[in-house]
Chain A
Amino acid sequence: MTLALDKVPDGANPPAATPAASPPIITVEGVSKTYDGGVTALSGIDLAFPAGKLAALLGPSGCGKTTLLKIVAGLLAPSAGRVTVKGRPVTGPGPERAFVFQDFALLPWATVLRNAAFGLELAGMARRQREEKARHYVAEVGLAGFEDKYPHELSGGMRQRVGLARALAVDADVLLMDEPFSAVDEQNRRKFQEDLIRLRELENKTFLFVTHSIEEAVYLADRIVLLSPHPGRVSQVIDPDIPRSDDVEAIRRDPVYLDIVDAIWRGLRRYAE
């Protein structure tokens, strides 16, 4: 941990120094976003995310966490400031980033395989090649045997696995996930979270995901960015030091896990009604 947890500072905070040597793959410099109509969603955000890590944007509703993720994705333009990914400024969606949607955003008329291959289809890859690649990632997210099913035949958790396979298939360096588990029921969510920990060891990618669940953020993330609302600002950056490699079941019983969950809740409870 890089910050004392018992003190939750008000307002913006400079990002914690990156502990390891890995250089940041995503940098966010002075990003603000004011929507038409004068609502300020984000104000003066400065952040850096190291490559190969899983980072979580956590905060109460209205803190602009999804807005920030969409700005990094290039789906929204910031009102001020800039974002760079792999050293290049973001001006729109790019091949080094892939997005996983909260509502899955699957094509209802397409099979699991075609949905998983859709990013490659848009990129103009030949059918056999893209389906071979998609088949690999469909199996990797645990959906082998479901290639010819349609989205409406799958549970919420399985649909989101298709969304994840689609994002993995395009070989992006950064996976941006917008509340990927929020429309998935509790048992499947836990299973999916465990699988994600295994997946990120398999795939050498950087993950940035938005969540409103403290447990989910602490369970999964190497770096947690706490945002405070109205307007959205960085209130704290926490780098939990929890061993995740040996036993994914043990994480939830780890004392460090429990302490961080508790400390974040103490910081956030004043935003709860």
Chain B
Amino acid sequence: MAPPPASRTLTQGPAGGAAASAAAGAWARWSSLPALWRAASLALFFAVWEIAARSGFSYALPSFTATAAAFWEMLADGSLGTAFAKTLYPLAIGLAFSLTVGIAGGVIMGLRRDVEFLSLPIFIVMQAAPMAALIPLVTFVYGIGLTAKVMAVVLLAMPVITINSYKAVRNVPPSLTAMARSFMGTRRQQITHVILPAASPMIFAGARLGVAEGFSGIVLAELLITPTGVGDLITFHRSVANFAHMYATIAAIVAFAVIAVSLLQRLETALFRPEKRSQR
């Protein structure tokens, strides 16, 4: 057989959702590096951090080793666990809501012109607007309780999830839907057998961005509304100049968000992308 020519593939949609696919591409590239290289890259970062801190240019920059020690200390005394549990509760509610409503809404917007016409402008504004600016408004309306924090997560996470799902459906190659039609597929079969599977990579890319935004939302809410959970831990250690503990908390929530987003990617490949698994 001749080597395969560089012919167009149907998985790569047009340029829509460029941010999502660029982020996904960068992440896929990083994941494909050998474990040794990934470890080396992290080690280099920690080494630079250690040297920078030891050079003593700022008293507010703890060394990497001091931060790691603070991390173990907070893990051992349970303060980090309690804070995470408090933070993750509204985050989980907000993300569950954003993912179900956002994906369903985006898919319907992609499938139906009338829904698109009515709702697209709202989501375009929401995606472009600095949503953090709305958090004081959320406090004003919903107070300082759980609802306000869930709202903060939803405000940040949902627009990107919805817009990506909508674009994903719109970017399904028209020849695939025509194919389903020509083989007498019903509209329902078109959606379940062709449109949703074809759209799923971009929907998942949006979901990953949405989860990352959700983490921003909950931390912002905890810093701006009332200090609870991780936000409280950061604020408290800053106020008493416990910089190593403050850094450890920040690093912990960042690492947690990164791990959550990458697990989502694994889940997608495991559940929906058999052709990617066969590449390994």
**Could you list which residues of chain A lie within 8 angstroms of chain B, going by C-beta atoms?**
73-75, 93-95, 97-99, 101-109, 111, 118-119, 121-123, 150-159, 166, 170, 183, 185, 187-188
Contact = CB atoms under 8 A, between A and B. Distances in A.
Contact of A109 (B3, B5, B180, B272): B272
Contacts of B278: 150, 153
Given A155-B4, A187-B2, 10 more contacts: A99-B179, A99-B182, A101-B175, A108-B275, A109-B198, A122-B184, A123-B183, A156-B5, A158-B4, A170-B183
B189 A155 contact: no
Nearest to B189: A122
A268 B84 CA distance: 74
Contacts of A187: 2
B9 A152 contact: yes
A122 B11 contact: no
B34 interface: no
B1 A105 contact: no
A122 B185 contact: yes
Given A158-B1, A188-B2, A109 B183 contact: no
Interface in B152-191: 173, 175-176, 178-185, 189
B274 interface: yes
B176 A156 contact: no
15 contacts: A75-B178, A101-B175, A101-B178, A102-B175, A103-B8, A109-B272, A118-B193, A122-B183, A122-B184, A122-B185, A122-B189, A123-B183, A150-B278, A152-B11, A166-B183
Contacts of B223: none
B275 A101 contact: no
A105 B183 CA distance: 12
Given A93-B183, A93-B184, A98-B182, A156 B7 contact: yes
Contacts of A106: 10
